[in-house]
Amino acid sequence: MKFLTSYVWLLAILQVSFAGQVISTNTQPIVVPSLKSWTGGKGEFLLKSGARIVVSSNYKQENDKNSRMENPADLKQVANMLAEDIVALSSLSLKVVIGIPAPDDLYLQLGHQANQTSDEAYTMKISSNSIVVSGKTSRGIYYGTRSLLQIMIQSKNKRTLPVGSIEDWPTYQIRGFFLDDARKFFPVSFLQDYARFMGWFKLNTFHLHLNDNDFLANATDPTWKTKYAGFRLKTNNPKLSGLARGENEWYTKEQFQSIQKVAKANALTILPEFDSPAHSLAFVQFKPEIGSYPVLDNSYLNLNKSETYDFMMSVWDEFAPWFDSKTLHIGADEYPSSQAAQFRDYVDTIARYIWEKHGKKPQVWGTGIEFDKNQTLSIDTNITISHWANWEDNPKNVTNNGYKIINVNDGGPVSSYIVPKSGGGGDKIDSVQYLAQYSPPIFGTGYNLESQKQLDNVLGGMFAVWFDNLGPSTTRWETHSIVGDTMAAISEILWNGSQNTTDPKVFFSNVQTVTQGPVNLKLEISSKSDTLLNFTFDGAHGNVLKDASGNRYDAKISGAKWVGKHFAQALEFSGKSSVVKVDLGTKGFNSTLFMTLDISSTHPSTILSSDEGAIKISQSEISISNDNYTYSIQFNTTLVKKADIAITSAAYPVGSKLYLDGKYLANFTYFIPRTSRTVSMGLVTPLDYIGKGFSGRISAFQVYDRILSSDEIAGLSKEVS
């Protein structure tokens, strides 16, 4: 039997030998994505509770000049991040100390030249009583800690690694992900978790689009004053503090720095973008005199006015000092060709200003050079091109002319663009196709980079998520469900090189074991079976609402009382002061909520809540709020008698569905004004409190860790009636 198993795994190793590394041990195969080489030995290392994380005494590293950040994390910060991740993944709390390792310690050693050509390289030597991760930079060592964690969490006790050694380095120097934070706001904690998630996949660039707007219909569209526009930074400077757009949808300097701090500890650069002179409605709403109305619509800056230049320079003066990145993205996307000359002058001027005044490298979208048939700007070639459309710039020409290019192509064999809820192919990236066909030099027939000079100028790649359909169309949890697998695929390609010989099915099933990383972006709640919660309404435990699921998630009752004839059968709630504290946070997709209620509330009243939002109910409607937006369904009848409410929660495109008395009633949806499409919404379930508003009785409350079929829901309804 044993022989057979390892034989099967040998075949598997052959199959996936280009997709990360399969580390075969006596007991089980271990899969590490984005890893170049592994040499196995005999025995294993056990991480003991008394072990320490030791950093070499030269941990400060003052001269990491090739870092893309002004002040990259030192090795101690990387060690602290590792300690935090070990707590999250292995429930071990290790001390971080500076000095010389003792047996059983994890040693992070700065200074060793792992690979002459890559600063991000590292080596790792695992013996039965020591682990040494070394590299030239703390960034390289950070990547070593990712491999370490990914190997470790695949052991049964989550604390064991096989003896062996690793030499590892990335193929591409820019490995990124782009997020349109401007048309959909993402809170600080989510971006921090995303920084950790991206670091987990050894990506190093998080491109944040910080201003943008809904589309205007035409040059004289009078709705420009009220159309949605986002600008995400809120300064104290009274001259520019009003620039932050969207109610509470911005970051203060301290908040933005707290995002950069987590990014930095994960060897990740936040690449900030202010997009102008197009996509600029947020600037024009703040300062109407710089708009182009009525020649062009007011999302375009008027480049005939010197005050436009002055204002945008003052914006950069204010915010450039906030950023860690040595590169600033100045947008320069999609200005009308009727104003090509003005556009070129503007882009040149701002790019030069970023370079000369702020000492930062400018980066632009490909339109920046679109109107120049010579495909060159007057500014020096240090400018980097984010390439997204072959009709905007020709990758062959720009690289021939010495520009550096990043492949974020909305085209080629597989597009790197996602516009959630746009319908059809743009909704997500087919990550199986992507793994097989995406590669930084590949832009599509006639545009692929071939000569050495062209190849030398391709820095790497990213994929992008754009919210053309605005924030309420897509929650951040839906966003993550769309992005997750593609993150794994691009990481594999950018770290290990082209993956077109990998079997994608094997790859994606393998990475399932490590996809979550140290953060809980899928909002999982651990459960012994697929019944997550099953409260018992017999009133036998006073103020304790007993959970019969086997998980012992007993909850605490206050201000609600047991009612029933001979023995209690329901818990009665009377408004805000009646509450059951469940304290489980928020449950993510692929779950089912089932409740039996007698509803007295005639106005929407909170029945479930958490930090994420609330479910509200009345006799005539139910709503769920996620991401500060409320999605409602009218019952179109008045629920005066006992009602069974079930909600199944699945990611887009299936979405969340409402069942009443065991029968499907409706989908939770959102109407997108721009496209006049109604799209399904996948909504997550708040599980910290029951009550806090609701008036009426609850006599059943269950949560399942999967989607129940309509027959099962009908069955539950029969069971409780």
Helix (H) or strand (E) holding 476: helix 476-496
Q: Which is nearer to ligand NAG, 53 or 459 (CB)?
A: 459
536 binds ligand NAG (CB under 6 A): yes
CB of 169 to ligand NAG, least distance (A): 4
Catalytic residue among 120, 249, 273, 334: 334
667 binds ligand NAG (CB under 6 A): yes
As a whole number of angstroms, the longest Cα–Cα distance in the chain is 88
Select the span of 21-29, 201-209, 251-259, 662-670 touching ligand NAG (CB under 6 A). 662-670
Applying CB under 6 A, what is the total number of residues that bind ligand NAG?
53
Q: Which is nearer to ligand NAG, 85 or 393 (CB)?
A: 393
CA angle 447, 448, 452 (to 5 degrees): 125
Q: Which is nearer to ligand NAG, 74 or 193 (CB)?
A: 193
Say what the alpha-carbon torsion angle 667, 670, 671, 672 is, to the nearest 10 degrees: -140
Number of H helices, E strands in the chain: 14, 42
Contacts of 460 by beta carbon, 8 Å cutoff, 6+ apart = 172, 173, 174, 175, 176, 205, 406, 407, 440, 494
Contacts of 145 by beta carbon, 8 Å cutoff, 6+ apart = 78, 81, 82, 85, 108, 133
CA angle 542, 548, 552 (to 5 degrees): 80
Select the span of 86-94, 307-315, 378-386, 488-496 touching ligand NAG (CB under 6 A). 378-386
User: Long-range contacts: 538-546, Cβ < 8 Å, 24+?
Assistant: 538/567, 538/568, 538/569, 539/564, 539/567, 539/568, 539/569, 539/571, 540/567, 540/568, 545/571, 545/580
Residue from 123, 325, 384, 590 touching ligand NAG (CB under 6 A): that is 590
Residue from 619, 665, 675, 677 touching ligand NAG (CB under 6 A): that is 665
Residues 240, 310: contact at Cβ < 8 Å?
no
Residue from 21, 118, 299, 699 touching ligand NAG (CB under 6 A): that is 118
Distance between CA 573 and CA 560 in Å, rounded?
A: 5
Q: Which is nearer to ligand NAG, 9 or 629 (CB)?
A: 629
Distance between CA 409 and CA 297 in Å, rounded?
A: 27
Is 334 annotated as catalytic? yes
CB atoms < 10 A from the CB of 266, how many? Answer: 29
419: helix, strand or coil: coil
The footprint of ligand NAG on residues 418-447 (CB under 6 A) is 439
The pattern of x and - marking residues 393 through 412 that bind ligand NAG according to CB under 6 A reads -x-xx---------------
295 binds ligand NAG (CB under 6 A): yes
Q: Which is nearer to ligand NAG, 96 or 383 (CB)?
A: 383
Q: Which is nearer to ligand NAG, 74 or 705 (CB)?
A: 705
676 binds ligand NAG (CB under 6 A): no
Token pair of 356, please? 């000369």
Select the span of 78-86, 192-200, 489-497, 625-633 touching ligand NAG (CB under 6 A). 625-633
Residues 659, 641: contact at Cβ < 8 Å?
no
Where in 114-236 does DSSP place strands (E)?
Answer: 122-127, 130-135, 160-168, 174-180, 205-209, 211-213, 229-231, 233-234
Select the span of 132-140, 174-182, 322-330, 629-637 touching ligand NAG (CB under 6 A). 629-637
Token pair of 95, please? 């001390």
CB atoms < 10 A from the CB of 699, how many? Answer: 20
620 binds ligand NAG (CB under 6 A): no
AA identity, residue 119: D
The footprint of ligand NAG on residues 178-237 (CB under 6 A) is 185, 187, 217-218, 220-221, 223
312 binds ligand NAG (CB under 6 A): no
690 binds ligand NAG (CB under 6 A): no
CA angle 346, 350, 351 (to 5 degrees): 115
Distance between CA 435 and CA 507 in Å, rounded?
A: 9
651 binds ligand NAG (CB under 6 A): yes
Contacts of 523 by beta carbon, 8 Å cutoff, 6+ apart = 477, 585, 586, 587, 588, 589, 684
527 binds ligand NAG (CB under 6 A): no
Residue from 22, 233, 284, 296 touching ligand NAG (CB under 6 A): that is 296
Q: Are strands 689-691 and 458-465 parallel, antiparallel or unpaired?
A: unpaired
The footprint of ligand NAG on residues 154-183 (CB under 6 A) is 167, 169
484: helix, strand or coil: helix
The pattern of x and - marking residues 354 through 373 that bind ligand NAG according to CB under 6 A reads ------------------xx
Q: Which is nearer to ligand NAG, 56 or 496 (CB)?
A: 496
The pattern of x and - marking residues 42 through 81 that bind ligand NAG according to CB under 6 A reads ----------------------------------------
26 binds ligand NAG (CB under 6 A): no
248 binds ligand NAG (CB under 6 A): yes
The residues that are catalytic are: 334
Query: What residues make contact with ligand NAG under the rule CB under 6 A?
Result: 115, 117-118, 167, 169, 185, 187, 217-218, 220-221, 223, 248, 292, 295-296, 302, 304, 339, 372-375, 380-382, 394, 396-397, 439, 481, 498, 500, 522, 531, 534, 536, 548, 588-590, 627-628, 633-634, 636, 651, 654-655, 665-667, 680
